[in-house]
Amino acid sequence: MNTHDLNRQPTTRLGCEKLEARENPAGNVIATILPDGVLYLRGDANNNLVSVQQYANGDLFAYGVDGTTVNGQSMVYIGNGYPTGVAFVMDAGNDLLEMIGVRTSGGIWGQMGNENDGLALYNVMAGALQPLMEGGDDIVVTDSVYIWGYCEINGGAGFDTIDYRTYGIYAPSYFALPNMEKQVGGPYGYY
C-alpha cells in the first residue's frame, strides 16, 4: 500500500430512488347557492376539510384545506351578500367544516356523516343552528356564536365533545345538546 492511497478521501455516491405512490384521500365538496338563497355544501365519501369564510364586506368564500377541493378548485368565490341559510351534507370520511364570520337570517343545519368529524364555528350569527354529527367521535368548537332562535347540536352515536372557546354560544331562545357526552372550555359556555 502506498501513502497516496492512505490520503485519499472516500467518495460517496448520491442517488434518488422513486418512492411508492401515496394517495391523499382528500375529497371534493360541492358548494352552490340554491334558488332560495341557501348556501348548500355537499361532501363526498373521502375526507373533506373545508372552510367557509365571510368577510366584513359580505364576500363569501369556500376554501379546501389539506388537499380537499371545492367545486374542483382550491378556493371558490361564492358571492357577495348573506345567504338565507347554510345547509350541509358532508357524507362519509373524516370531515371538518369550519365557518368563520358567516351571517345568515336563516338556519345552519345539516349532517356531518358517520366518521370522526368536526364542526368549528367562529364569529357566526344565524337564526337557528341544528347540526347532526351522526356516528363517530365528533367535536364541535364554538367561539362568539350568536343564535337568536332554535339551537340544538346533536352528537349522534359515539363519544362527542363540544368545546366552548372564549365566548361560546349565545342562544337565548332554545338550547339543547342531545348526545354530547363532554363539554369543555370557555369561561361562558352557552347562555
Cα-based angle 99, 105, 109 (whole degrees, multiple of 5): 50
Report helix, strand or coil for 123.
Answer: strand
* pLDDT beyond 60 at 149: yes
Per-residue pLDDT at 169 exceeds 90: no
pLDDT of residue 182: 85
Query: Residue 127 belongs to what domain range?
Result: 26-184
Residue 68 placed within a domain: yes
| Residue 188 reports pLDDT greater than 90 | no
Which pLDDT does position 183 carry in this prediction?
84
Task: Name the burial class of residue 170, with classes exposed (0-12), middle (13-18) and buried (19+) by CB atoms within 10 angstroms of its CB.
Answer: middle
Q: What is the pLDDT of residues 85-130, one digit of tens each?
A: 999 999 999 999 999 999 999 999 999 999 999 999 999 999 999 9
Predicted structure pTM score: 0.84
The count of domains in the chain is 1
pLDDT at residue 141 above 80? yes
Within-domain flag for 154? yes
Q: Is residue 3 part of a domain?
A: no
| Cβ atoms 52, 29 nearer than 8 A | no
Residue 10 lies in a domain: no
Q: Are 141 and 118 in contact (CB under 8 A)?
A: yes
In a domain, 8, yes or no: no
The per-residue pLDDT for range 13-39, each reduced to its tens digit, is: 555 565 555 555 689 999 999 999 999
In-domain check, residue 58: yes
- Residue 14 domain-assigned (yes or no): no
- Where does the pLDDT of residue 185 fall: very low under 50, low under 70, confident under 90, or very high at 90 and above? confident
In a domain, 16, yes or no: no
pLDDT of residue 189: 54
